[in-house]
Structure 1
Amino acid sequence: MSTPLIERWRAHLAQGRRRSIHTVRAYVATAERLLAWMEEMDGRAPDAAAIMKLATSDLRAYLASRRVEGIGNSSASRELSALRGFLRFVGGEGSTIPVMRGPRVKPGVPRPISPDEAVALAQDIAETARESWIGARDWAVLLLLYGAGLRISEALGLTGEVLPLGETIRVLGKRGKTRLVPLLPQVREAIDAYLAECPYPPLRDAPLFRGARGGDLSPAIIRRAVQGARGRLGLHERTTPHALRHSFATHLLGRGADLRSLQELLGHASLSSTQIYTKVDAAHLLDIYRNAHPRAEG
């Protein structure tokens, strides 16, 4: 349901709030579902005035309809957050929106993989690539995720502007924020090796990592490669590109990194986002204890 209001909402998210393309897509889809639900209930397309007349009971009824479609607590919570943002946008600054408490969501703990598993994963993907330069490319990308803690979107968003590589790299993160991230020698060497083999010359305003035909490298390509490798290596199904970033954070914390430094490295806006790794580290130590301590079963 594309309407002028929806398009203004899309522009507000993308340009005004500088949200990621994934967030924009999800929030716009939520607004479209709400308007479609309202039209089904009232028999006419809703305008801004009708939207602002929504009460808490209406939002509960809408979310109940989504529950029937099978969404869980986490999805319902995200949907409610998107609805709140949309209603504030429609009503304007200072507007009053219905108050509704979202479902309780038990925070998930990221599942890191061991350093050996991270290296084995990257090696498997590099060795099974159909061309040598593609293998070098995938190896470099995965080392950026594990060795520098980048999100996959951040790694694939790098351009030739970062060259020549130094001891740090400037990364464009969420909401357009930039940060400096240290580059380990092994990561620099992997990127240099990829550039030496890549058939497409690096250009200042072009993606650093190219697809097979020279265009942008899709994150889906890397995700599929990781999925294939984890099957061949017998790794957990939650071993994803993002798990490498989790592993970077967990292993640094285990080596004594403080939370504030880790927050800067990861590009988290809030320290609370980083604190989840304290739980990961504790869980990791408990696993080691259970597996290695002679009295762990007692």
Structure 2
Amino acid sequence: MNDWLDILAERLTTCCDTHAAAGTAPTAAELRALAETEAPVAEAEPLPAPGGLFWQRYEEWVSYTREAGTVRTAQAHATAGRHLREFADLNGYAVDFDTLTPTVGDRWAAYLLNVASLTDNTINKHLGRLKAFMKWAGKRGYTESTALDRVSWARREPDVIALSVAELAALEALQLGLGSRLDKARAWFLLACYTGLRYSDLVSIRPQHLRPATDKLPAHLRLTAQKTRAVVNVPLSARALDIVNRLLAGDLASIKSQPITNPVLNRFLKELGKLAGIDSPIEVIRYRGGVADITTCLKYEKLTVHTARRTFVTLNLGKGMSAEFVMKLTGHTSYKSFQRYVNLTPQRVAEEFAKFHEMPDSPH
């Protein structure tokens, strides 16, 4: 309307100026005709698709995370976004900053449980990622909505899988061809068991991270954890140092010119575990909607690179190291997150109890 009034004022002013120059005056009919002429129709700008700006910002967040060096975290963010898109498409719902209400958050969580068939812990993580995105967007002025802060999903900790001292020794004792795919896979896994480093930190080790032994300090790795950005100093045993030297020499980089990725390494670890006889039956508990889904499998079937980090924590605590010291080595900044790595098996509980109490001899 303001644009049209400006155009009308310009027309009438021009008309009056033209007549004034000629020494005449405009007639009422002439001015009325100018006023009644239709305003020119401006080309309308296309409206953005519902949620278009939201998804644009979400992709920006994923890219920002990836460029920060946390590639696996960026992949997890992208997966959460994919589930949200699928939920929106299934329900015909236009996801946007202003439409993400607590009710929608609850409905998405229900979708993740009943349609996507995810566990409670995974649902909790996806909700956390969406909340993290909204906070990131809020800091950049993209939204002021905090509605999702009121949405939650209970996290239920599963049993932690870690190797015992005997199982780790069996894996170390395996006779494998030097430089074979299983030998390389074992070296990666053992280095994680000896240092407690995540896979993302293992693959980032460079010569500058290795600090040689001195009169006061043993050889150690000093690096910045990829996930938490915390600086960690990890002392190296003789076995760990040998593996680090192999890694830096390029002996562990690939198998038949193909890089050893996390999924490939996890597949090889299951084969190694079977060869080492790590086959005790274990119960795997997954919670869906608070209901325990219990399955039994052989332990080697659940071996992953992350098992090594849990093994490092569990075995060192068992040797008497303080939790604070182990946390310093692993780079954990909160005891709550660290506690998830502590594997208090019934056998471990019995062994610890026996240290402080006299126990009757076991029956023969």
State whether TM-score is above 0.5.
Answer: yes
TM bucket, shorter chain: 0.7 to 0.9
Q: How does 1:121-140 map to 2 (within 5 A)?
A: 121-124=171-174, 127-129=175-177, 132=179, 134=181, 137-140=184-187
Cα distance in structure 2, aligned partners of 1:97 and 1:169? 41
Aligned to 1:198: none
Please tell me whether residue 168 in structure 1 is matched to residue 217 in structure 2.
Answer: no
Please tell me whether residue 66 in structure 1 is matched to residue 109 in structure 2.
Answer: no
2:193 maps to which of 146, 163, 183: 146
**CA offsets per residue over residues 241-279 of structure 1, 9 Å max, x none?**
3222212211211222112211110111212222345x5
1:162 to partner: Cα distance:
3.8
Call closer, same or farther: CA 1:263–1:144 in 2, change over 3 Å.
same
How many residues are paired up?
277
Cα distance in structure 1, aligned partners of 2:126 and 2:97? 16
Cα distance in structure 1, aligned partners of 2:278 and 2:237? 28
SS in 2 for 1:262: helix
Aligned to 2:131: 84
Aligned to 1:228: 271
**CA offsets per residue over residues 128-172 of structure 1, 9 Å max, x none?**
45x536555444323311111122222222134345754111233
Aligned to 1:219: 262
* TM-score, normalising length: structure 2: 0.65
* TM-score, normalising length: structure 1: 0.77
**CA offsets per residue over residues 85-144 of structure 1, 9 Å max, x none?**
2233344458232243423222234232222211322443xx345x53655544432331
Greater helix percent: which structure?
1
1:182 to partner: Cα distance:
0.2
1:185 to partner: Cα distance:
1.5
1:106 maps to which of 142, 148, 156: 156
Call closer, same or farther: CA 1:51–1:247 in 2, change over 3 Å.
same
Amino acid at match of 1:266: T
Aligned residues with identical type, % of pairs:
17
- Cα RMSD of the aligned pairs, angstroms, is 3.4
> 5+ unaligned residues in a row in structure 1: which ranges?
196-200
Greater strand percent: which structure?
2
> 5+ unaligned residues in a row in structure 2: which ranges?
1-50, 214-218, 280-298
SS in 2 for 1:176: coil
Aligned to 2:348: 285
Contact kept in structure 1, 2:196 and 2:330, CA below 8 Å: yes
Call closer, same or farther: CA 1:160–1:219 in 2, change over 3 Å.
farther
2:122 maps to which of 65, 75, 79: 75
Call closer, same or farther: CA 1:65–1:164 in 2, change over 3 Å.
closer
Aligned to 2:5: none
Amino acid at match of 1:111: I
Call closer, same or farther: CA 1:59–1:134 in 2, change over 3 Å.
closer
Cα distance in structure 1, aligned partners of 2:344 and 2:86? 45
Call closer, same or farther: CA 1:138–1:101 in 2, change over 3 Å.
same
